[in-house]
Structure 1
Amino acid sequence: MNIADEQIRRGRKYEQVLNGARIVFMRDGYEGASVDDIAREAGVSKATLYSYFPDKRLLFMEVAKTECQRQADEAVELIDLTLPPEQVLTAAARRITQFIMSDFGMRVFRICVAESDRFPELGHQFYHSGPLLVRQRLADYLREAVARGELVIDDIELAADQFAELCKADIHNRLIFGMADCCQPRDIERTIRGAVEMFMARYGAGRG
């Protein structure tokens, strides 16, 4: 347990505070979110809020970490890890693109970038609760597929990072910069199909 975890108290109204904070952070951003608004949305007093989270930064990171954990857990539950790589990677790519395109995914990315100068640890902590978590879950599957002889990979972590980046191609930047034509279902399927095909061309056991 790190210092931030030790500062957070989990009790009867913990989830209530967290849910209220999530609504306000996603609506107003990190800087625009006031403790008064969060307490009001959560239906608790400021004293109660502070008894759970001593400062706003800790509350924001707990919101981000909880949401990322939830999405990662859902992805694992929905994917049969014994299936062939093409099927698992397609399902994983669909979950990754859904997260990238979600209101939460876009807003939390923008918040971390906007606050990077004042609170550089925000981005660092979000990476460990979000992208790094995805990387670890994907790497676990890749190791199993390698052990079954379905993939040939020397650097598992690099391969996991490469696949996650392939899933962002032609989607992430267009979303972040507000391109009006992003993103139609056909664009998403094109990116997913391309990510899986390129990954298998590089790491599939039957390549070449």
Structure 2
Amino acid sequence: MAQRVRQGLAEKRTAIVCGARRVFGRDGYTRTSIDAIAKEADVSTRTIYNHFPGGKAEVFRVVVEEGAAQVVQAHLDALDRRLHKVTDLEADLIAFIQAWAEPADRFPDHFAVARQLRAEVGHIPQELVDAWRRSGPQRSIEAAAGRFRELADEGLLDAPDPLRAAHHLFHLTLGEVNDRTCMGALPLPDQERTELITAGVRAFLRGYLPR
């Protein structure tokens, strides 16, 4: 009996988080209400407050943190699969960036929330913005910087500031991709995406290959 109750509670929580993610991604933080989340999740507002006593702010924090954790894991997998052992630096970096960008297609609801967060950043409590950064973008970029530090130690990159180098690589390769797709909201042909990433990697290497 107790196990069934726990399973039921877990299922309700999952329904709330998934429903809230869809609503936040569609309507943004400021326009979303607990009533809208309850309707989307097919639960009562009381059920939401039973799981999340902090109301909308707590639901939003959980939504962005859990979604960001999935993206970070995908980024760690990309680092492990594509940069664990480098044999052709240019080709491996291109494959790495392509793998790094895959979560945008795998987790569209999360990235819809991220787009809304960026658009409304001045109207969202700072602690929620900080929670998103800590749980997602900051962890991902720091993981990439750690691998870049190792590549520099191996003599493959001249990167005295690995964190800055990681930022440069992502801006050069995915900056235009994000601009053309409006942060993943619009489609981009695979060939065009590959061309943009390739051009960015080559520009990066002109600045970071050892002299």
User: Is 1:134 matched with 2:140?
Assistant: yes
| 1:1-208 equivalent positions in 2, closer than 5 A | 12=10, 13-53=12-52, 54-78=54-78, 79-80=80-81, 81-84=83-86, 85-99=89-103, 103-104=108-109, 107-121=112-126, 122-176=128-182, 183-205=188-210, 208=211
Residue segments in structure 1 that go unaligned for 5+ positions in a row: 1-10
Aligned-pair RMSD on alpha carbons? 2.9
Runs in 1 of length 4+ with deviation above 3 angstroms? 85-88, 95-106, 122-125, 177-180
Partner of 1:6: none
Q: TM-score, normalised by structure 1?
A: 0.77
Shift of residue 138, structure 1, vs aligned partner: 0.7
Q: TM-score, normalised by structure 2?
A: 0.76
**SS of structure 2 residue aligned to 1:163:** helix
Q: Which letter maps to 2:116?
A: I
**SS of structure 2 residue aligned to 1:170:** helix
Distance in 2, matches of 1:178 and 1:67, equals 16
Distance in 2, matches of 1:17 and 1:178, equals 25
Distance in 2, matches of 1:156 and 1:43, equals 47
Cα pair 1:106 1:176 within 8 Å, conserved? no
| Structure with the bigger percentage of helix | 2
Q: Which letter maps to 2:74?
A: E
Distance in 1, matches of 2:153 and 2:51, equals 44
Partner of 1:3: none
Identical pairs, percent: 27
Could you say if the C-alpha distance between residues 178 and 70 of structure 1 is closer, same or farther in structure 2, counting changes exceeding 3 Å? closer
